[in-house]
Structure 1
Amino acid sequence: MTGFVYQMPTKIISGRDCLTGRGELLRPLGKKALIVTGRSSSENGALADAVTALRNNGREFSVFDGVRPNPTLDCVQAGAEQARKTGAEFVVGIGGGSALDAAKAVAVLARQPRPDEEIFSGGWSEDVLPVAAVPTTAGTGSEVTQYAVLTNDFAKTKTSISSPAFFPKLAFLDGKYMLGLGRAVTVNTAADALSHAVEGMFTLRSTPLSDLAALESVRILFSLFPKLEEENFRLSCEDRDELLYASMLAGTVIAQSGTTAVHAMGYPLTYHHGTPHGEANGILLGEMLALCAERLPERTEKILAAAGLKTTGEFKAALKRVLRSDAAYTREELERYAREAAKNPKLAGVTYRPDEEDLLRIYLESGLVKKEGTGAGV
């Protein structure tokens, strides 16, 4: 076994009503909180639980609920300004990946203000407000990563900022907040988690521990695929807990390994066309794994075994049944996105070493070329 470094500083608290039941864990973070969230948290009960936990432990708070999907720099700058004005000493992020990423960005910008044009230049210090994360979707794993993915209008894509200081101090996992999620959001976020687990197996930074988490995440997600395929879609609270656990595991994977080609290729589909992030990843993941099977068959076989499958064809078919995506783009667009993705730093540590031709092949063989006269892919 080769040497490795594994860092996971986030304390994970899992279980029913864990936020209100273990709210005392918030006390060491500070006396004044800024809750960063979107509007859905008031509907799923997470915001009310956070307010209860803070009040029960004598903490003051204000709420910034301006987060929307794919958070912009205007959004996180406004949140950071509110944090400074209210004297917030810590941040509670509530929501899906967008809200949690925004919370981490707010936490750093509150202490390290920067103009928009310098936000993606790196070089962050450790002077960051502590963050407690409460995920209300199961996909990004942002509650256990050091990344914050933001809309980058300068580069016309999505770009992550990162630092070890961005890891949340606490992550509260409770599947009850996801009971009201519809099929599309549930499936797309599950596909995002799956992409994290699979991509994390094919980077130079993967470790034996991250591989274990990746394979367990794949196993759990595929065990739930039959329920995700059902026409009369319905998941129990326990099923939601399992999805959330699998997402968290996959988050710990990319915290060590980072993401790879699928994310680099999916970002322009989201930025330019509004394709949900998880769906964009999911429709590309099968062909990426097929390429990996040619170049790294042993690792691919481990993933297939964890999924209970024998071939990459079965893997692709399972994803198509679950996603039911009709996303489609022109060939010219896909050629441009392949050129752009080939320059993405995410490809530097990829063990299967895809080039621009490989990336275009993944796009095309994923059936994404728009048919003439329709909006559907081939």
Structure 2
Amino acid sequence: MAKATPRKQASERSSSQSRKRKVTASRASASRAVAARSSVKSRTASVARVQPARVTRAENVPAFSRIAVSSPNALSRPTASLVAASGAKGASFGQLYGLHQTQDPLELKSSVALVMDQDTNEVMLSKNPEAVLPIASLTKLMTAVVVVEAHLPLDDAITITSDDVDTEKNSSSRLAVGSTLSRGELLHLALMSSENRAAHALGRTYPGGLTAFVSAMNAKARLLGMHDTRYVDPTGLNSGNQATARDLATLVKAAYQQPLIRELSVSPEHAVRLGNRQLQFRNTNSLVRSPSWDIGLQKTGYIVEAGRCLVMQASMAGRKFIMVFLDSAGKYSRQADAERVRRWLENAAQKGALTTHASAKVTS
């Protein structure tokens, strides 16, 4: 066999080295690809591990500890200039006081709140509980108490007159002047759907008229020890109807003693026949239609000066609670605040912490 020439040997060595470099480069490329895929998988797995933790933290319910927060401005009292400013700026008294700057662990949207055990009076949460604010249609709860305790015949026919038309806020009503309903139906509509003409007609037809009725409302408030409460009409349309959260909790306890008030206030809806028409009214509190809630009594309220308001008696975590939310910002925020409180209490009950933690007081 002929020997390869030096030139041919050099060519073969060069070709062999080239093949080796290609193989080495290919292996390096494959190795980098594997490492890249491994890195992506590692990052993906890391994200998958971390992401649920972020979601869980966002949904965490604050650990239970009785909450008491207040603003120094909560001790301010309404003045004529404040009333004028509220009307001019379209702001609630609580906003003008700066009460919405008060922070609480549950991040409630209500600037005033109170949650207490109905049976023991143990306060679980208080937020500016001494602030005197307009209470809007929460006023109608006292209207109902006065009517029921007067033992006036519920089947008496009462006709809506022009005197019952709202000239304070010019609010609308589905009860036209000339409509005739029973006192019981007017009471039902006032409590359930916050009907202003119904509430006014109840006060107007009280023995002695409207003046005597409002006097009876204030007398009942004093009898109950509601010392920071004042009523000027049976509807709550006037911002002069004012109270504190503590006083309203007292009112809820008193109203709860009346089975009729309990029944009518939580009624989901009610149909009223007026001549050839049948009008369907619904409860202003959507929570009464929720199967997850056990509500024994409720009342909503709203005027600009008061913000969104809500009082309720409800069973939660194996106990009965009274909840008061005043000056809530947002159409549905008062119900959302009630939901936050319920989750907080039920979470505490599940952990056995509902009655074991000491009070914590924070001043904003």
Per the normalisation by structure 1, the TM-score is 0.24
Specify which structure has the higher proportion of strand.
2
User: Greater RCO between the two (CA within 8 Å, min separation 6)?
Assistant: 2
Q: Which has the higher helix share?
A: 1
Q: TM-score, normalised by structure 2?
A: 0.25
